Amino acid sequence: MPGLDGLRALAVFAVIVYHLNPAWAPGGLLGVAVFFVLSGYLITDILIAQWKKTGTIDLKDFWLRRMRRLLPLFLVMLVAVGGWLMYAEPSRLARLQGDIITSLLYINNWWLIFHQVSYFESFGPVSPFGHLWSLAVEEQFYIVWPFLLWLGLRFAPRRGVLAAVITAGAAVSALAMALMYEPGADPSRVYYGTDTRAFALLIGAALAVLWPSWKLPAAASARMRNTVDAVGGLGLIVIVFMIWATSQYDDFLYRGGMVVLAAAAAAAIAALVHPASRLGAAFGCKPMRWLGVRSYGIYIWHYPVIVLSSNAAPAEFTTEGLALAAGQVAAAVGLAALSWRFVEEPVRRRAWIRKPSHRRARSRKNGLMSYSLVYLSLVLVIAIVSKLEPAWENRIVSSAPQTASGDPLTQPEIAPATSPPPGTLQAGGEAAIPVQARPQTEDPEGDAVPAPENSGGSDEAVPAPGDGGSSVAAVPGEPVVPAVRPPDAEISVTAIGDSVILDAARFLSEQVPGIVIDGKVGRQFSEAKELTNQLKEMKKLGTVVVVELGTNGTFSKEQLKTLLETIGSERKVVLVNTRVPRPWEGNVNENLKEAAETATNVTLVDWHSASEGKNEYFAADGVHLKEEGARLYASLLIKAIGIPAPAEAAAAKNGSDPQLTS
C-alpha cells in the first residue's frame, strides 16, 4: 500500500514544520492525529486478517514484531541524544531522568500530565524528548487493543456490529476531550491523554473492520474508482486545510475539530489503500514513498535535532532562519536514512534468515552488527539513567506549569540557594522578597525551594521605608505595596503581571509613588480575574490598572474581555504586549491589539516593537530584562499611565519613542 507512505510523509513534515515555526503551519500538530488513525487502521487490519486466517490472534508474535519495529531506533536515539547532552550540557541531562525512564516504559504522556508539563507553552530549556508522548499513546494502544479486538471478534463477529461498538468507543473518547477541555486554558491534558486521543486510533480501527485492505479488489469500475478518489481527495483537502487554518489555540479543535480531522484521515486512507485508486498511485510515487517508509525515523530524530541546534525557538522568516530550518530538516532526514539502513531494516526484517545461502553471510554480518548496536544502546541507556539523580531532586517545586525538562516556565536557570544581600529586591521569585526575608521562596504547599536567579536589572538596593523612597517588598504571593503612599495622589496605579513586571518593579516604584505591583513567576492569564477581584476587595485596585501577562502562554479573546469587564470601564487599563520567543507570542499580541482597538478605556504599550533588535535589553532567555531594558520598560508604562518620565528614564530610551495605540 504505497499510497499510505505518501500520507506518512505528509503527516511527518506537517509536524516538523510546526516544530520549526507554528506560524508556518499552525495546525501542523494534526500530523500526529493522522498517524494515530493510520496506526489504528493498520494494526486492526493485520489482526483481523490473522483472525480470519488462523481463528486466533498471536499476541506474542504481534508484540515481538512491534518491538522489532519501534524499540531499536528508539534506544539508539536515546543513547545518541544522551551522549550529546552528557558532553555538551550535563546539567540539562540531569533533569531528564524521568523523561527517559517514562519514554522507555511508554508512559511518557501520563508522566507529562502528572507533572503538568505543557506541550504548547514550554519556556526555558526544552526537553529533546518532548515528542515521545505520542509513541507512548500508540504503544499503550498496541498493548490493550489486541485483547479488546479479540473480545469483539469473539462476541460480535458481524462487521457492522463490531464497527458500531468501536465507533461508540471513539465517540466516548471524543466526548471526554470536549468536556475536559477548558477554553482559554492550556489544553495539554486533553492533548496528551490516551483517553482523550483514543478516538483517532478507534476511527482507524473501525475503518479497518469495514474496509479491510486484503478484501479490496484490484479491478474496479470507472465509477467506483472515481468515487474512491473523490472521497480520498476530499479527505486530503480537509487535512491540508486544517493544517493551514487551525492552531493549537482553537476551541474548535478540541470540541470536534480533531474528530473531523480523524474522519478526513480515514477517508484519505480508504482511498490510498485501494489497489485501483489513482490517488494511491500518485501518493505512492518514489520520493513520497521513500520519505514515508522512513517517517518513523524522521519523527524520532527531528525534534532532538531542532531542540539541540536552536533550543526549539521558532525559526524566523529570514535568510538565516530559513537556512537553519533547512539544515535541521536535512539532518533529521539524513539520520533517518542512516538508521533505516543500519538499524531498523536489518532488525525488523532479519533479512539474513530469508536470503539465499550465497548471500546470507553478508546479511548475517550486517544483522548481527545491527543487533549488537541495539543491545549496546540498551546497556548505555541503563548506564546513563543510573548515573542521573532522581528527577524530583532536580526540579523546583512550583505550582506554575513546567517545561518538558521540568523547569518552571519562567526560570530556565536556577541559582544556588544563597541568602540575598540585605536591602535587595529578588525579582525572579513568585513575588518580591522582603528585605529581611529568608533566602528561599515557598511553594503553595509550604515546601522551601531555592530562590531563582535574578533576571538582571532587579538586584540593586531598594530604599527602606522612611528613607525618602518606597519599598516594593512583600510577602510571597501578596501584592507588592510601597510603604509610602501619598494621600493626595490624583491617580492610583495597580500593576498585575508575571516575572517580567517584577524585573521593572524597582523602577516603577521609584517613579510612580503608591503603585501596587502584584507579580508572580509563571503566572497564567487565567489567574488574573480572581486576582483582580481580590484586589478590589482589598481596595488595592487603582484607577489605572496595568496588565502584563502572556509571557507564559496565551489566552482567549473571551478571557481578555472578561478581565476588562472585571476591572471595569471606569478605570484606565494599560495592556502590555510581550516579547517571548515562543509560539504563542503572535497570538497574545494580536489579542491585546484587538482589545485596545475596541475598548475606549484601554491603551496598548507596544513593548514588542520598542524592544525589537535590542538584545542588550534582555537576559539570555530573550525575555527577562537587564537593567537597561527594565528602565525602558518602566518608562513606557509610566508614559502610558500618564505620569511624565524623569530625565534618567528618558535617557534609557536611547532615542526610541514608546509606541502606543489607543
Q: What percent of the chain has pLDDT over 90?
A: 43
Separation between Cα atoms, residue 303 and residue 25, nearest integer Å: 16
Reported as a single tens digit per residue, the pLDDT across 471-530 is 333 333 444 444 334 444 478 899 999 989 999 999 998 888 889 999 988 788 888 999
- CA gap 259, 170 in Å, rounded: 9
Residue 546: what pLDDT? 95
**Which pLDDT belongs to residue 614?**
86
**Can you tell me the distance from the alpha carbon of 322 to that of 342, in angstroms, rounded to the nearest whole number?**
30
Q: Angle between the 30-54 and 194-210 helix axes, to the nearest 10 degrees?
A: 50
- At 295 the pLDDT is 95
Half-sphere exposure for 156 (CA within 13 Å, toward CB): 13
Q: Which residues contact 622 (CB under 8 A, 6 or more apart)?
A: 313, 579, 580, 581, 615
Q: What is the largest CA-CA distance in the chain?
A: 99
Q: Are strands 516-519 and 440-442 parallel, antiparallel or unpaired?
A: unpaired
CA distance 18 to 252: 19
Position 173 scores a pLDDT of 97
Average pLDDT of the residues in 25-31: 92
Domains, in order of start, for the chain: 2-117+125-307+319-387 (no CATH), 449-661 (3.40.50.1110)
Cell 480523524 belongs to which residue?
A: 262
Distance (Å, rounded) from C-alpha 93 to C-alpha 118?
19
> Which of 35-49, 276-290, 387-401 has the weakest average pLDDT?
387-401
Residue 644 pLDDT > 50, yes or no? Answer: yes
Nearest to 27 by CA among 170, 238, 279: 238
**How would you write 376-400 as a 3-class SS string?**
HHHHHHHHHHHHCCCHHHCCCCCCC
Average pLDDT over residues 613-642: 88
Average confidence (pLDDT) over 121-142: 86
Distance CA 579, CA 618 (A): 10
- Whole-number Cα distances in Å, 82 to 336, 382, 408, 609: 18, 11, 22, 39
Compute the mean pLDDT over every residue in the chain, rounded to the nearest whole number: 78
Q: How confident is the model at residue 455 (pLDDT cuts 50, 70, 90)?
A: very low
Mean per-residue pLDDT, 111-139: 85
Cell of 488: 493626595
Task: Quote the pLDDT of residue 206.
Answer: 97
- What pLDDT sits at residue 483? 37
Instruction: Please tell me which residue in 398, 499, 509, 635 is annotated as part of the active site.
Output: 499
The pTM for the full model equals: 0.71
For residue 188, the SS3 value is helix
Decide: 128 and 79 in contact? Cβ < 8 Å.
Answer: no
The three cell numbers locating residue 138: 500508540
Whether residue 97 is predicted with pLDDT greater than 70 in this model: the reply is: yes
Closest CA to 328 of 348, 304, 344: 304
Crossing angle of helices 133-155 and 159-180, rounded to 10°: 140
* 8-state DSSP, 356: -
**What CA–CA distance (Å, rounded) separates 295 from 520?**
42
What is the tens place of the pLDDT at every residue in 267-277? 999 999 999 89
Residue given cell 491589539 in the structure block? 593
Phi, psi of 661 (to 5 degrees): -130, 145
Cβ atoms of 328 and 20 within 8 Å: the answer is yes
Query: What confidence tier does 621 reach under pLDDT thresholds 50, 70, 90?
Result: confident
Using an 8 Å Cβ cutoff, are 397 and 449 in contact?
A: yes
Q: With beta carbons less than 8 A apart as the criterion, state whether 563 and 131 touch.
A: no
Catalytic site includes residue 488: no
Angle of helix 258-272 relative to helix 194-210, nearest 10 degrees, comes to 30
499 counts as catalytic: yes
pLDDT at 372: 62
For residue 484, the model assigns a pLDDT of 39
Q: Helical H runs in 21-107?
A: 30-54, 59-88, 90-94, 97-104
**What pLDDT is stored for residue 342 in this prediction?**
85
**Which H or E run contains 630?**
helix 627-641
Contact 213, 204 (CB under 8 A): no
Query: In this predicted model, which residue has the larger pLDDT, 135 or 433?
Result: 135
DSSP state at residue 461: B
d(CA 347, CA 378): 14
**CA pair distance 197, 174, nearest whole angstrom:** 7
- The backbone torsions φ and ψ at residue 212, rounded to the nearest 5 degrees and listed phi first, read -65, 135
Q: What single string gives the DSSP state of each residue in 476-525?
A: TTS-B--S---TT-S--EEEEESHHHHHTHHHHHHHSTT-EEEE-TT--G
Task: Please tell me which residue, 302 or 452, carries the higher pLDDT value.
Answer: 302
Band (233; pLDDT cuts 50, 70, 90): very high
Element at 497 (helix H, strand E): strand 493-497
Digit-coded pLDDT (tens) for 371-380 = 565 656 556 6
Cβ neighbours of residue 617 closer than 8 Å, sequence gap 6 or more: 611, 625, 626, 628, 629, 632, 633
CA distances from 224 to 215, 228, 238, 266, 508 (A): 15, 6, 21, 18, 72
pLDDT digits (tens, 9 = 90+) for 548-582: 998 887 888 888 999 999 999 999 999 999 988 77
The DSSP code for 107 is -
Q: pLDDT tens digit string along 387-434?
A: 555 443 333 222 333 333 333 333 333 233 333 333 333 333 333 333
Q: Is-catalytic flag, 302?
A: no
Query: What is the dihedral angle through the alpha carbons of 593, 594, 595, 596, rounded to the nearest 10 degrees?
Result: 50
Distance, first Cα to last Cα, the chain? 58
Going by pLDDT thresholds of 50, 70 and 90, the confidence category of residue 22 is confident
Of 19, 131, 274, 624, the active-site residue reads 624
Is the pLDDT score of 104 beyond 60? yes
pLDDT (0 to 100) of residue 364: 59
Check residue 384 and give its pLDDT: 57
Per-residue pLDDT at 265 exceeds 50: yes
SS3 27: coil
Residue, of 275 and 661, whose pLDDT is higher: 275
Contact 573, 528 (CB under 8 A): no
pLDDT at 447 over 70: no
Task: Give dist(CA 475, CA 589) in Å, integer.
Answer: 31
Residue 152 has pLDDT above 80, yes or no: yes
Which residue type is seen at 557?
Answer: K
- 568 residue type, one letter: G
Which of 535, 542, 504, 524 minimizes the C-alpha distance to 641? Answer: 542
**Sign of the CA dihedral running 199, 205, 206, 207:** positive
Helical H runs in 538-583?
557-567
* DSSP secondary structure of 302-323: HHHHHHHHHTTPPPPSSHHHHH
pLDDT at 489: 47
* Residue-level length of the chain: 662
In the prediction, which pLDDT does 557 show? 84
Name the catalytic one among 5, 99, 606, 621: 621
Least confident span in 280-294, 321-335, 467-481: 467-481
Looking at residue 453, what is its pLDDT?
38
